[in-house]
């Protein structure tokens, strides 16, 4: 019926574009239609005494519609559709040749694709209307003459790269469509929004043909592993793993460093199909470059175990980190922080304790002239440290230049900053009116009374705190939660203002029934800033059993987090976390001077080894 009245099918109208073939303006057409409606209305208004309003309305609508239809005919309405013209266009057929296509029930999925295309004459039918380009892909794209030439299964499924190679290679040729045959999704971790936008920008339709079952209950896949690329020696590593599955199951995850098992953990997968994300903690041990292997044990009946593992390199540099801690008054917090970190060989804690208006007591220094004149007055000296802790110390004791240096220490140098609550700290120390306030994860309030109060408060980790390595006191979440519940109350607290959008709260304090943020952090520029809104954590040491290590564990983890990821003057990074059997590795080196400004004309030599061969230089 639709074609009887409109000549073409509804699908043709749905896929086509409606336009006018004349060169006249569409706005002119709309204006004339509106003018016609006004004139019709004026004409019918003279007859309102002889006809009812309802009849006049119907007549007016019909007359206006007739005039509008005549006007539209003058504008030459046209339906524009696109279709492949025989042999004038080409169609690219991309066949997934990854390892998973080698599995199947009876015959492999790849064999099923080849058989279906050959038996049903799909390729021949396409060849009647367009030039057919055959390609197979896994990690790389390969042109083939026939489906019988599909190469052996490859180690990955790089759908995005294969599509872009085809589209970019087509150039100005008449590529009419792409047919993509695959059993899974892109697993290159490189198919981001920018690549998807580039693919869509070519305007070539991509028709995806799925192979195999949509859900495989007897299969699990280690989809993603997120982990820091560099940690300090002795620091505990926290890795996030994402496992794709079709239903409830129990799987065992193992993490290897070479042949050594670092951790083995049972993970419970949710009932619904999808992805389950879990965290796994482990120690890396001594310094060096670690080649970590994350592997899932196969579940009963699992046909494909190739997607059960991933590799991640991680560097444990054999270098100490240096933290400068400046304190404005002798207090227990200062003493117990030093005691908690004194046996840590990885971190050197250098402290400046103000004893008189113009005198500091120095500890942890390496030479007699280190910090001889107090807080650094130049960038080179301050930027030599990896992190800075400011305790109960007034901002007025530092010049505006020194305050600006602290701001740039975080944003430009990429250092870590921790501000601790105290009588002269945070808002009560005037820090809210300095450039340093811009770096902090929370605003500092302007109160008529002091923001620092001596009031007992219970401390609890937030949801983020239970997952963070900073505030996790045990690898078992339930044990860690119980240890926090057993913690003594802190004896003081400092009020903060509103949290900033990027702030993450790890600990909260309950003051007279009201919950307030206690430990907060955020990224700022290249660095990280923390606020610990109390100076009373020393009670966790004094009021607990002398063998309890909760206080030491907390402060060691916090200070390791403070220096973790802080860049060094010379850095080397790779574009990808794992290259597999790729023939080319792209590295990026950065060299900065003592003020952490880029050195554009630096001369750098690189030493590397291939497998177990001798070291080479370039």
Instruction: Give the DSSP per-residue string, 161-210.
Output: HHHHHHHHHHTTS-EEEEEEEESS---SS---HHHHHHHHHT---EEEEE
Q: Domain span at residue 277?
A: 229-316
Domain holding 500: CATH number?
3.40.50.880
The per-residue DSSP string of 373-441 comes to TSS--SHHHHHTSSEEEE-S--GGGS-HHHHHHHHHHHHTT--EEEEE--TTSGGGGTGGGSGGGGTSS
Distance CA 586, CA 190 (A): 15
Q: What percent of the chain is modeled with pLDDT above 90?
A: 36
Least confident span in 34-48, 334-348, 418-432 = 34-48
Structural domain count, the chain: 5
Tell me the pLDDT band of 280, cut-offs 50, 70 and 90. Answer: confident
538 and 602 share one domain: no
Judge if 202 and 269 occupy the same domain. no
Which single residue is written with the structure tokens 């057919």? 132
pLDDT at residue 261 tops 70: yes
For residue 70, the surrounding DSSP H or E stretch is helix 53-74
Choose the final residue of a domain: 297, 316, 335.
Answer: 316
**Beta strand segments in 533-614, E:** 570-574, 587-591, 607-609
Nearest CA-CA partner of 329 in 359, 293, 298, 290 = 359
pLDDT per position as a tens digit, 403-431 = 999 999 999 999 999 999 999 999 999 99
What would the pLDDT profile of 92-115 be if each residue is shown by its tens digit?
899 988 877 877 767 888 888 888
* For residue 584, pLDDT beyond 90: no
Residues 411 and 492 in one domain: yes
User: Residue 39: what pLDDT?
Assistant: 87
Whether residue 540 has pLDDT greater than 60 = yes
Same domain, 502 and 611: no
Average the pLDDT over each of 173-182, 416-425, 500-509 and give the range with the smallest value. Answer: 173-182
Among 80, 108, 131, give the residue marking a domain's end: 80
Q: Is the pLDDT of residue 367 over 80?
A: yes
pLDDT of residue 583: 64
pLDDT attached to residue 582: 62
Task: Compute, in degrees rounded to 10, the torsion defined by CA atoms 372, 377, 383, 386.
Answer: 60
pLDDT of residue 171: 62
Which of 120-124, 427-431, 469-473 has the least mean pLDDT?
120-124
Q: Is the pLDDT of residue 172 over 60?
A: no
Q: Report, as an integer, the average pLDDT of 492-503.
A: 95
Residues 6+ apart with CB under 8 A from 155: 98, 99, 138, 139, 306, 580, 581
Task: Specify whether 104 is located in the same domain as 59.
Answer: no
Residue 460 within any structural domain of the chain: yes
Q: Is residue 280 part of a domain?
A: yes
How many angstroms separate the Cα of 447 from the Cα of each of 424, 494, 611?
14, 12, 63
Same domain, 370 and 494: yes
Q: Are residues 468 and 517 both part of a single domain?
A: yes
Q: Which two tokens stand for residue 390?
A: 């400011």
Looking only at the bridges linking them, the beta strands covering 587-591 and 607-609 are unpaired
| pLDDT of amino acid 531 | 97
Q: What's 144's domain CATH number? A: 3.40.50.410
pLDDT at 215: 74
Q: What is the mean pLDDT of residues 280-305?
A: 85
Q: Are 543 and 430 in contact (CB under 8 A)?
A: no
Cα gap 89→111, rounded to integer Å: 28
Looking at residue 173, its pLDDT comes to 63
Name the burial class of residue 13, with classes exposed (0-12), middle (13-18) and buried (19+) by CB atoms within 10 angstroms of its CB: middle
323 contact partners, CB below 8 Å, separation of at least 6: 347, 348, 349, 350, 385, 386, 387, 388, 389, 559, 562, 563
Looking at the fold, whether 58 and 179 belong to one and the same domain comes out as no
Structural domain contains residue 417: yes
Integer Cα distance of 113 and 102 in angstroms: 11
Confidence of residue 361 (pLDDT cuts 50, 70, 90): very high
Residue indicated by tokens 């999925």: 109
**What does DSSP assign to residue 71?**
H
Count the helix, strand and coil residues of the chain and give each as a percent rounded to the nearest 5.
30, 30, 40
What is the residue-averaged pLDDT of the chain?
86
518 in the same domain as 455: yes
Last residue of a domain, one of 316, 332, 353: 316
In a domain, 220, yes or no: no
Considering the domain architecture, whether residues 389 and 508 belong to the same structural domain is answered as yes
Question: In this structure, what CATH number is given to the domain that contains residue 245?
Answer: 2.60.40.10
Q: What is the pLDDT of residue 58?
A: 85
pLDDT tens digit sequence for 53-85: 788 888 888 888 888 888 888 888 887 776 545
Average pLDDT over residues 488-506: 95
Angle in degrees, CA 177, 179, 184, rounded to 5: 140
**pLDDT score, position 77:** 82
Separation between Cα atoms, residue 322 and residue 35, nearest integer Å: 80
Q: What is the pLDDT of residue 446?
A: 87
pLDDT of residue 612: 65
For residues 297 and 186, membership in a common domain is answered with no
At a CB cut-off of 8 Å and minimum separation 6, what does 489 contact?
456, 457, 458, 459, 539
Please report whether residue 215 resides in a domain.
Answer: no
pLDDT tens-digit profile of 518-530?
A: 999 999 999 999 9
Q: What is the pLDDT of residue 196?
A: 87
539 in the same domain as 590: no
Tokens of 122: 């799909």
Lowest mean pLDDT among 20-29, 352-361, 478-487: 20-29
SS (H, E, C) 1-25: CHHHHHCCCHHHHHHCEEEECCCCC
Confidence of residue 581 (pLDDT cuts 50, 70, 90): low
> Is 216 within a domain?
no
**Which of the two residues, 337 and 16, has the higher pLDDT score?**
337
Q: How much is the pLDDT for 580?
A: 62
Residue 95 β-bridge partners = 136, 181
Give the integer Cα–Cα distance in Å for 164 and 372. 60
């Amino acid at each position: 019926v639709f074609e009887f009245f409109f000549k073409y099918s509804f699908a043709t109208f749905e896929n086509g574009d409606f336009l006018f073939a004349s060169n006249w303006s569409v706005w002119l057409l709309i204006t004339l239609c509106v003018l016609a409606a006004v004139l019709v209305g004026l004409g019918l208004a003279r007859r309102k005494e002889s006809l009812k309003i309802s009849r006049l309305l119907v007549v007016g609508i019909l007359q206006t519609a007739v005039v509008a239809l005549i006007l539209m005919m003058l504008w030459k309405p046209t339906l524009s559709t696109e279709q492949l013209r025989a042999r004038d266009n080409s169609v690219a057929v991309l066949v997934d040749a990854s390892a998973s296509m080698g599995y199947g029930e009876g015959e492999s999925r790849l064999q099923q694709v080849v058989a279906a295309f050959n038996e049903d004459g799909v390729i021949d039918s396409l060849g009647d209307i367009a030039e057919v380009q055959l390609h197979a892909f896994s990690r790389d794209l390969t042109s083939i003459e026939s489906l019988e030439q599909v190469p052996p299964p490859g180690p990955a499924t790089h759908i995005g790269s294969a599509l872009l190679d085809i589209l970019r290679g087509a150039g100005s040729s008449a590529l009419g469509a792409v047919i993509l045959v695959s059993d899974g999704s892109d697993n290159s971790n490189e198919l981001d929004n920018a690549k998807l936008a580039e693919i869509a920008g070519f305007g070539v339709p991509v028709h995806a043909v799925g192979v195999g079952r949509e859900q495989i209950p007897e299969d699990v896949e280690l989809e993603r592993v997120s982990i820091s690329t560099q940690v300090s020696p002795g620091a505990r590593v926290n890795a996030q793993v994402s496992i794709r599955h079709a239903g409830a199951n129990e799987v065992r995850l193992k993490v290897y460093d070479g042949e050594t098992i670092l951790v083995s953990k049972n993970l419970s997968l949710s009932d619904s199909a999808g992805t389950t994300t879990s965290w796994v903690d482990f120690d890396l041990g001594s310094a060096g470059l670690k080649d970590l292997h994350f592997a899932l044990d196969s579940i009963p009946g699992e046909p494909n175990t190739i997607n059960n593992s991933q590799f991640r390199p991680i560097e444990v540099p054999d270098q100490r980190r240096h933290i400068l801690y400046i304190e404005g008054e002798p207090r227990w917090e200062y003493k117990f922080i030093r005691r908690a970190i004194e046996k840590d060989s990885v971190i050197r804690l250098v402290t400046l304790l103000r004893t008189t208006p113009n005198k500091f007591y120095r500890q942890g220094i390496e030479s007699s002239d280190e910090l001889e004149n107090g807080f650094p007055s130049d960038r080179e000296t301050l930027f030599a440290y990896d992190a800075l802790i400011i305790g109960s110390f007034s901002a007025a004791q530092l010049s505006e230049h020194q305050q600006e240096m602290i701001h740039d220490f975080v944003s430009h140098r990429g250092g870590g900053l921790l501000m601790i609550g105290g009588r002269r700290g945070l808002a009560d120390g005037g820090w809210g009116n300095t450039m340093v306030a811009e770096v902090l994860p929370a605003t500092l309030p302007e109160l008529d009374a002091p923001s620092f109060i001596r009031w007992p408060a219970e401390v609890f980790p937030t949801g983020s705190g239970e997952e963070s390595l900073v505030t996790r006191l045990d690898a078992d979440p339930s044990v860690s939660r119980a240890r926090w519940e057993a913690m003594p109350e802190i004896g003081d607290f400092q009020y903060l203002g509103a949290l900033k959008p990027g702030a993450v709260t790890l600990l909260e304090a309950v003051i007279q029934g009201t919950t307030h943020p206690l430990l907060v952090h955020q990224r700022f520029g290249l660095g990280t800033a923390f606020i610990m809104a109390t100076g009373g954590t020393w009670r966790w040491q004094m009021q607990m059993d002398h063998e309890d290590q909760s206080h030491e564990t907390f402060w060691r983890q916090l200070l390791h987090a403070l220096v973790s990821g802080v860049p060094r003057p010379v850095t080397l990074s790779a574009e990808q976390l794992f290259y597999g059997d790729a023939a080319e590795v792209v590295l990026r080196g950065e060299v900065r001077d003592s003020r952490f400004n880029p050195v554009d004309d630096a001369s750098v030599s690189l030493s590397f080894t291939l497998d177990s061969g001798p070291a080479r230089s370039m």
